[in-house]
Amino acid sequence: MKGWQAAKTHCKRGHPLSGENLYRYRGERQCKTCRRMHARRHDKECRALPSEQKLRAVFSALREGKTLSVITTGLVHAGGSNYQKVATAIVNGNSLRRLMQTNAPAGRLIRKLAEENRVAQHKARWLQRPRVARVSERGYEAIRRATEGLPDHLRDDVRSEMFLAIAEGRLPLREAAARVSEFVTAHNRTFSKFMPGGGLLLSLDQPAYADETGTRLVDTVSTGLWS
């Protein structure tokens, strides 16, 4: 216990920090009377619905991109079990939940805006990370195993596109193995670097002739070739 804590004889409201009014919490001396006052106030806030002023502040914060966590606690997730204080809470979380339950239209709108903000912030944090960090060792191994049966001239390009898709959030890691053919198809529709006799094979989706609208993909080539 720090010296100034040990030297305190009364709380900030003038209640004695001794006898039955003294409460010890994690080495800190606290006032039981103040704790009871805080508990009653907190319970009252939980039961009451937010005022119109607070509700306006909630919607204003949602339109600014804030999440429900920031609005109700002032905290943001900082990784693992850590949270960082970034703002002052606008409204009690239990009070806001009661409003969302009793006012269905407002509740739906709050959930919609809050979810959009949560997804946007998660994506922003993800994209701020270095690309190498975004593709974990587990992700690399998953893509390596899923693509190891591809031809040599195709494998590296497809892997690169899959790594990029994971980094940008377009490819969930759990779907990597099932969606390899999708990236092979996209690659082949764009270009193929090699031909049996050498040279560049243009996309089959390109026009066959300058004065025609038809493409290089003729009827005798099935779409299954590119799957």
pLDDT (tens digit per residue) in 165-220: 877 778 888 888 899 999 998 888 765 444 443 334 444 444 444 444 444 433 33
| 73 and 26 part of one domain | no
Write down the pLDDT at residue 128.
65
Taking residues 2-25, report their average pLDDT.
83
The boundaries of the domain holding residue 29 are 1-47
Write down the pLDDT at residue 136.
65
Interatomic CA distance for residues 147 and 120, integer angstroms: 31
| 7 and 42 part of one domain | yes
| 59 and 112 part of one domain | yes
Closest C-alpha to 184, from 160, 202, 168, 206: 160
Write down the pLDDT at residue 84.
80
| 183 and 137 part of one domain | yes
Residue 62's CB is within 10 A of a number of other CB atoms, namely 20
| 107 and 173 part of one domain | no
Exposure string (b/e) for 180-215, b if CB count within 10 Å is 16 or more? bebbbeebbeeebeeeeeeeeeeebeeeeeeeeeee
| 222 backbone dihedrals φ, ψ, rounded to 5° | -85, 155
Write down the pLDDT at residue 33.
92
pLDDT tens per residue across span 110-124: 999 998 888 788 767
pLDDT tens per residue across span 149-178: 888 778 888 888 888 787 777 888 888 889
pTM: 0.45
Average per-residue pLDDT for the chain: 76
Question: What is the number of structural domains in the chain?
Answer: 3
Write down the pLDDT at residue 170.
84
> Has residue 103 got a pLDDT over 50?
yes
Write down the pLDDT at residue 163.
81
DSSP letters spanning 36-92: HHHHHHHHHHHHSPPPHHHHHHHHHHHHTT--HHHHHHSEEE-STT-EEE-S---S-
| 106 and 171 part of one domain | no
The fraction of the chain above a pLDDT of 90, given in percent, is 17
Select from 74, 108, 128 the last residue of a domain.
Answer: 128
Using pLDDT thresholds of 50, 70 and 90, give the confidence band for residue 81: low
| 140 and 121 part of one domain | no
Using pLDDT thresholds of 50, 70 and 90, give the confidence band for residue 80: low
Angle between helices 93-102 and 104-128 (to 10 degrees): 130
Interatomic CA distance for residues 227 and 218, integer angstroms: 16
Element (H, E) at 106: helix 104-128
Taking residues 13-22, report their average pLDDT.
90
Lowest model confidence (mean pLDDT) among 38-47, 58-67, 121-130, 171-180: 121-130
pLDDT tens per residue across span 32-41: 999 999 888 8
Please say whether the beta carbons of 148 and 174 come within 8 A: no
DSSP letter, residue 206: S
| 65 and 26 part of one domain | no
Select from 128, 153, 181 the last residue of a domain.
Answer: 128
Select from 79, 97, 128 the last residue of a domain.
Answer: 128
